[in-house]
Structures are given as C-alpha cells and as structure tokens.
Amino acid sequence: MKHLLGIEGLSRDEFYLLLDNSREMVEISRRDIKKVPALRGKTVINMFFEASTRTRSSFEIAGKRLSADVVNVSATGSSVTKGETLLDTARTLSAMAPDVLVVRHSASGAPAFLARYLPDTAVVNAGDGLHEHPTQALLDCLTLSEHFSARSQGIEGLRLAIVGDVLHSRVARSNIWAHLLLGNEVRLVGPPTFLPPELKEAFGADSSQCRGRLEVYYDLKSGIAGADVVMCLRLQLERQSQHFVPSLEEYSREYGVSEKLLARYAPNCVVLHPGPVNRGIEVSSEVLDGPRSLVSKQVSNGVAVRMAVLFLLATGKDTGETTIA
C-alpha cells in the first residue's frame, strides 16, 4: 500500500491488516509512556485546508507517539492565502522530503490528485470534500470490533443504520464501502433530499460481487429497527448550497435519534458519531452521553488507527513483520 486515499478498492485482507495493526497501536496508547522510536527520522506533514479538531490533532499525536517529526500546515497562515495553488504548495512541501503527507481538503479528489503528482511521498486522505474519510471508517470499525469482540463473526453480519445527511458525508461513504466489504447490511436513513437514488447505485450494491446489502429508508423508525449499530451524522450545513431540510426543528423531530426511539426499535444497539455533534439536532444528549455511546472510544481509537496508517506507509512494513517496541 503506497497511499491511503479511500476505503473503496481496498481488499478485505488490506482492511483487516490495518485493523490488526491498529490494535497493536491501542496497546502503546495504553502505556504509561506512550512513545516508541518506530518512526524516528521520518517526517509527517499534516496539510489541513479545512477545519478539524479530532482528525488533525490525532494525526499529530499519532506521528509523535511513533517519534516522527510532525509539521502542521493549515490554509490560513500558509501561502495559499497568497494565491499559491494546491499543487504548488504540495510540491514545495514535498521538496522538503517528507515521508507522509496527510491531506484534508474541501475538494473531493484533492489527495488523489496530489498522490499522482508527488511520486515520492505517501499521501493519506484525511477527508476530501464529499468523497472519503478512510481513517474515520477504520477507527469506527476498530471501535466496533472492540465492542463486538465476543461475537464469533466479529464485525461481520451486522446491521448498521447510518442516519442523517448521507449526501454530504465522506464519513458515510467510507463506512458504506467498509461495511459492504465486510458483508454487512447497511441502511441509509434520512429525508429523500439526503438520499438521492444515484447514491445507492454508486456503491455497486446490486452487483453480484457485492458481499453486503445497501437499503434506503426515509422513515427513521423502520430504518433503525433491529439495528446493531446506529451511526448518526452531523448535518453538514457548510456544504449545503440550498435548503435540504425545511428547518432544523422539523428535521430534528423527524430524524433526531433519541433514547426513547432506540429503546423501542433498536434496544441492543450501540451509537457512533464522528463528531463534531450538533447536540439535540441529529442526536439527543441523553444518547450521546449515555451507555450506548461509543463516541469517546472512537476518538481514542482514532490515534491508534492513524499510528497504524502512518507506520505502514512510512516504513512499508506491517507490525506483524517488525517489532515496534
């Protein structure tokens, strides 16, 4: 694996390799001294051209826990504000010979574009427009694999309901690819404006090669019925050029995930949310702060997953082949 640009196209073996390597990194993150020399002498540049709290800080912490030199560049404060193009900025940074370039950008395809033009640098997609956010899907699956560790099938054979603004969500897209790869039942739940018919077709879920199932539900109760996992999505208001919902109050009434609904329709489910959360709009505080919520585990696992990805791309080795100490 030279780059990590998306979950689409990964094989099951590659996906499980990343999860297995992440588990080893979880162990390091639980130690008293959370630092190993594995990436000493390697350089990671985090190029974040869109707002981020969790992803950016966890890539930075991940690099530092592995002893890499980590440099952060954001759009504000970089030469982008002076009119430099994305490619020129990336070429400039690449000339400083980083081993890994982590990119977040509002344009779908920006990391893939850079990967094409920067042959000597490994590129990681940290979220590009409406396209993908592969490390988020990996950390979601790592969190689920810890929760469902007693199940003989692990995280396969699950029913996952993804609720909300699927249209504008790169988190949803990466998770759909991941769960179809695992052979799971994926339900997309939301108003029709967030679930256009092309969306379902884009994942090839009706083809004979697809191992999982993808269904669309416009009604929240039937969409979450019997779900093992309910993934709530933030309304991506910054990406919406028109009114997709009549009002936030009305959206919340129809599609807000509450404990009362979960207790009735998906009593055994756990709840994921990638953050940041619009509390009380897509999900209630009772659910978010309650026992079903795996949200803070998702955040901790984000560091481990990013350590695994940086390690794999910077060294070309997986943790099974080498000791990370």
Binding site for ligand NCD (CB under 6 A): 54-55, 127, 133, 136, 170-171, 234, 236, 274-275
To ligand NCD, the closest distance from the beta carbon of 37 in angstroms equals 29
Binning the chain into helix, strand and coil, the percentages to the nearest 5 are: 40, 15, 45
Determine the residue type at 76.
T
Task: Give Cβ neighbours of residue 268 (< 8 Å, ≥ 6 apart).
Answer: 228
* Cβ(240)–Cβ(267) below 8 Å: no
CB-nearer residue toward ligand NCD: 192 or 276: 276
Strand order in the sheet with 185-189: 213-217, 185-189, 159-163, 229-232, 270-272
Structure tokens at 84: 């430099």
To ligand NCD, the closest distance from the beta carbon of 280 in angstroms equals 16
CB-nearer residue toward ligand NCD: 170 or 187: 170
The structure tokens 């979880």 sit at 26
Using DSSP's 3-state secondary structure scheme, residue 186 falls into strand
To ligand NCD, the closest distance from the beta carbon of 316 in angstroms equals 26
CB-nearer residue toward ligand NCD: 154 or 275: 275
Name the closest residue to ligand NCD (Cβ).
234
To ligand NCD, the closest distance from the beta carbon of 21 in angstroms equals 20
To ligand NCD, the closest distance from the beta carbon of 213 in angstroms equals 24
To ligand NCD, the closest distance from the beta carbon of 299 in angstroms equals 8
CB-nearer residue toward ligand NCD: 139 or 324: 139
CB-nearer residue toward ligand NCD: 94 or 302: 302
Cis check: omega of the bond before 276, within 30 degrees of 0 = yes
Q: For residues 8 and 134, what is the distance between their CA atoms, to the nearest angstrom?
A: 9
CB-nearer residue toward ligand NCD: 87 or 130: 130
To ligand NCD, the closest distance from the beta carbon of 236 in angstroms equals 6
To ligand NCD, the closest distance from the beta carbon of 308 in angstroms equals 17
CB-nearer residue toward ligand NCD: 28 or 137: 137
CB-nearer residue toward ligand NCD: 108 or 258: 108
Q: For residues 156 and 148, what is the distance between their CA atoms, to the nearest angstrom?
A: 10
- Burial label for 299, CB within 10 Å (0-12, 13-18, 19+), is middle
Output phi, psi for 245, to 5 deg.
-130, 145
Output phi, psi for 93, to 5 deg.
-65, -40
CB-nearer residue toward ligand NCD: 67 or 108: 108
* Cβ(298)–Cβ(271) below 8 Å: no
Using DSSP's 3-state secondary structure scheme, residue 122 falls into strand
Residue of 122, 117, 121, 89 whose CA lies nearest to 105: 89
To ligand NCD, the closest distance from the beta carbon of 272 in angstroms equals 11
- Burial label for 249, CB within 10 Å (0-12, 13-18, 19+), is exposed
